[in-house]
């Protein structure tokens, strides 16, 4: 699923400069983002556990479990992100089955890297 | 949980007695299980990662991108499991948005548990 194509006309684009903290571990969260442009790092306790690039998603976990942010996300370069709030997320899950599969694959890849990290 | 209705009359069933090992880490993995009754504990290198009960999914990584089991699963009570291969899993994702959501939530839940584990190790 090409998320860049789906969100190219999004009216909720947000820009962050390199070095900006986008999400903070432990904070409550009800937004996720599609990376329209840029590179980001996912950190736990200041250690990078994954990187996210253009076309990928970040911040989805807090929307799925209605829970706090499990990790911090920092912009490594200047970034443009498409903002997805809880109600848009819920609609996407309901009406775009490919989106659910896409989120699932993202989670599976992150989980796979996380297992490797602690192995 | 209405998606459990999808497993009415499911042919590929497996039963495990309390205390028995359902699968262990590093074993080849090509099937996923939905718990129809009972409770299962997941462990990673002997450390408890979480429990799943009736309606829960276990072994879900096998369906997506992992050829071996990342954790071990042990039956905490007598359990009854519906076994799904990759094709059956994909079919259910197509058929039921509720099942899809549940599978996605299971991954998020598991990632959270592993993230917590990483967080403790980094402390």
Chain B interface residues (partner A, CB cutoff 8 A): 44-45, 60-61, 64-66, 70, 93-94, 97, 100-101, 103-105, 107-112, 114-119, 121-123
**pTM reported for the whole predicted model:** 0.90
Asked if ipTM goes beyond 0.85, one says: yes
Q: What secondary structure letter does DSSP report for B123?
A: -
CA dihedral A85, A88, A89, A90 (to 10 degrees): 120
The whole-angstrom separation of Cα B48 and Cα B41 is 7
Note the pLDDT tens digit of each residue in A5-40: 999 999 999 999 999 999 999 999 999 999 999 999
Question: Which residues are CB-neighbours of A3 under 8 A, at least 6 positions away?
Answer: A34, A55, A56, A57, A102
Q: Which residues of A touch B93 (CB under 8 A)?
A: 97, 100-101
Note the pLDDT tens digit of each residue in A32-71: 999 999 999 999 999 999 999 999 999 999 999 878 999 9
HSE, CB side, 13 Å, CA atoms: give it for residue B19: 0
Q: Of the candidates B44, B108, B114, which has its C-beta nearest A64's C-beta?
A: B108
Note the pLDDT tens digit of each residue in B85-106: 989 998 999 889 889 999 999 9
For residue B67, give the nearest of B34, B103, B30, B31 by alpha carbon: B30
């Amino acid at each position: 699923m090409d998320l860049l194509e789906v969100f190219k006309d999004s009216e909720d684009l947000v820009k962050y400069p390199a070095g900006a903290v986008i999400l903070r571990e432990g904070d409550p969260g009800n937004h996720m983002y599609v990376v329209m442009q840029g590179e980001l790092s996912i950190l736990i306790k200041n250690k990078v556990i994954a990187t996210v690039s253009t076309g990928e998603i970040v911040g989805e976990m807090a929307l799925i479990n209605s829970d706090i942010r499990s990790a911090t996300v920092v912009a490594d370069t200047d970034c443009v992100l498409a903002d997805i709030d809880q109600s848009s997320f819920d609609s996407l899950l309901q009406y775009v089955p490919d989106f659910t599969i896409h989120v699932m694959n993202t989670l599976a890849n992150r989980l796979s890297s996380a297992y490797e990290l602690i192995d | 949980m209405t998606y459990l209705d999808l497993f009415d009359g499911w042919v590929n069933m497996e039963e495990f007695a309390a205390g028995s090992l359902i699968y262990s880490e590093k074993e080849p993995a090509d099937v996923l299980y939905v718990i129809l009754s009972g409770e299962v504990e997941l462990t990673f290198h002997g450390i408890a990662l979480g429990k799943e009960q009736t309606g829960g999914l276990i072994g879900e990584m096998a369906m997506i991108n992992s050829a071996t089991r990342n954790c071990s699963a042990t039956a905490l009570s007598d359990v009854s499991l519906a076994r799904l291969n990759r094709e059956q899993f994909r079919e259910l994702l197509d058929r039921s948005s509720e099942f899809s959501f549940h599978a996605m939530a299971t991954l998020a839940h598991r990632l959270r548990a592993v993230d917590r584990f990483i967080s403790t190790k980094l402390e």
